[in-house]
Amino acid sequence: MTEKNAPFLETAARWATGLHFHDLPPDVRRAAGAQRLSAIGAAAWTCSLPVGERIHRTVRAEFDTAGEATLLGGGRVAPRAAAYGHAALGMALDFDDTVLGGHTGHSAVFVPLAYAEVAGADWRRAVLAHVAANEVAARVASAAAVGPFRGQQTAYVHALCAAVGRAVVEGDDADTLADAMAIALSQPPWPLDAGFLGSDAKVLTAAEPVLAGLNAVGAAREGLAGNREVVTAEGGFLDSFADYPLPEFLGGLPEREAGDRFGPVEGRWHTRAVTVKAHPGCAYVSAPVEAALDARRELDRRFDGTVPVSHVTVETSLFTTQVDERASRYVRGPDSTLAALNFSVPYNVAVALLDGEHTPRQFADARRGKRDVWELADRVELEHDAEFTTDALRSEVPLGAMLRRVGPLVLPYSAKTVGGGATVANLPTLLRFVRKRPLPTDLSAAEKRLGARVTVHLSDGQSVTAECPHPMGFAGRPLSETRAVARRKCEGALVELAGADAPVRPAVEALRDPDGPVSLEEVAALVSRGTAAAPEVPHR
């Protein structure tokens, strides 16, 4: 088989194992650095809540805890234990990051960090493995995006990221990596809403596939072969996981031009389309939260909290209303699952309005148990705004770039996904996607516009309105802002755990440098200050 006609996994394996640090454009390295800092910050924040201790106990119970890899809040453990634990810690609060194609950071960041630390590998090797994992897994997820799973439920990306991350760090050849990825993708997870939103199982959505990917590398090294055509084969991955497969997204791995031997390689780097969430919760909740916080500031300025709130209206995209509807069946007041609350617009808007902040503190048991937030949440109403839906669909991320390749089939896909009524109501918007558009070749300007408008109606008839068309840290915002969001996330977690007088800034700045050594040691020392003192709260 010629290289041009080789299966994607063979092409991707050759690309990943042949990648060099100088191939990475500076902005791709900076985007990866923001994703890394975001992932570490999310994991650290989880260590401040009881769910963090439950994850640490799980790791101690199920893994060999004798090792040289750092687990935030959990000491030194075996690298697979660190990768598993960090994936769970990062997933718990939905306080993560994305690239075009998925939430890869839980595995793409933490597997290379764990295995590079134990192997004593150069920090550049960990960065290479991180970016390579992003690019390979995101292409597979993009090819399957028009299907039953998107977002965190594309759990299979973590099996791929883990295989790529470990193999690149430890120096496996392309054949071994191709077989490892094929094995990892042969039994992909199929998350169920009832478990994902209705229990604590969502915490392990990335962690369990990480183990599959790590094990696949070991199996391939021992001679077990995978079907390297599993992605596009009949009865293979895309046949099973995509309603409308888009295999064209599998291509476009950045390649050096013939005769060009030095300097960064340009092309479709999915890492460039990085999003870093400024607030915990599903990405579709971010804009309502930011608008609610703006509204709270205006209420304080004009009324100083003296006029009671009658009700709150949230106008937003169809994506957001659908996500909230899915979560609502699992929202049961103070007994709601953490996963359901992360997807609930009424809870997040209410707690942001009441507290004037929106951090993981708003998901602590003590806050979730107070009556005021549930009384206000019951008075938060969602309304669909077609303009916000149009803006979201025009954006490349999370789905627009893929829908542009579907053509007329976008109409039956919409009917299957959101129903016939909603499809008819939004027909003018959907008709814009009937004509196929070119495949993106550069994601430098890719956007992720998931907007919302919040109106707080007061008991005296007055109202305050705030709008957020494009949340902070989302793709399409300045990369400098996205990096600042990641820094604040990580700093906030470490101050919460170690105290305001702790040397937080130097530890974070060291991690933030895209062209410097990467180590979790200083951050882990700060996290341990808080986790050692935090009492365990019995699980309800």
Burial of 170 (0-12, 13-18, 19+ CB in 10 A): middle
* DSSP designation for 477: B
For residue 41, is pLDDT > 70?
yes
Lowest mean pLDDT among 336-345, 358-367, 506-515: 506-515
Q: What is the C-alpha end-to-end distance of the chain, expressed in Å?
A: 57
Q: Which residue has the tokens 């004509």?
A: 435
Nearest to 246 by CA among 124, 385, 399, 451: 399
For residue 1, is pLDDT > 80?
no
Position 540 confidence tier, pLDDT thresholds 50, 70, 90: very low
Residue pLDDT, tens place only, 66-100: 899 999 999 999 999 999 999 999 999 999 999 99
For residue 258, is pLDDT > 80?
no
> What are 79's two structure tokens?
């690298």
Q: Is 468 helix (H, G, I), strand (E, B) or coil?
A: strand
CA distances from 287 to 258, 430, 454 (A): 45, 23, 9
SS (H, E, C) 77-125: ECHHHHHHHHHHHHHCCCCCEEECCECCHHHHCHHHHHHHHHHCCCHHH
Which of the two residues, 515 and 299, has the higher pLDDT score? Answer: 299
Q: Rounded mean pLDDT of 478-484?
A: 98
Residue pLDDT, tens place only, 436-477: 888 999 999 999 999 999 999 999 999 999 999 999 999 999
Q: What is the pairing mode between strands 463-468 and 275-276?
A: unpaired
Q: Specify which residues 452 forms β-bridges with.
A: 316, 468
For residue 533, is pLDDT > 60?
no
Distance in angstroms (rounded) separating the CA atoms of residues 148 and 166: 28
Position 24 confidence tier, pLDDT thresholds 50, 70, 90: very high
Burial of 365 (0-12, 13-18, 19+ CB in 10 A): middle
Lowest mean pLDDT among 46-50, 320-324, 413-417: 413-417
* DSSP designation for 539: P
Position 3 confidence tier, pLDDT thresholds 50, 70, 90: low
Structure confidence at residue 538 (pLDDT): 42
Answer yes or no: are the C-beta atoms of 134 and 104 closer than 8 Å.
yes
Distance in angstroms (rounded) separating the CA atoms of residues 115 and 138: 21
Q: Which residue has the tokens 């969502």?
A: 202
Residue pLDDT, tens place only, 383-392: 999 899 989 9
Structure confidence at residue 259 (pLDDT): 66
Structure confidence at residue 537 (pLDDT): 39
Distance in angstroms (rounded) separating the CA atoms of residues 74 and 63: 12
Q: Is 439 helix (H, G, I), strand (E, B) or coil?
A: coil
Position 434 confidence tier, pLDDT thresholds 50, 70, 90: confident
Nearest to 348 by CA among 368, 322, 371, 369: 368
Residue pLDDT, tens place only, 298-349: 999 999 878 899 999 999 999 999 999 999 999 999 999 999 999 999 999 9
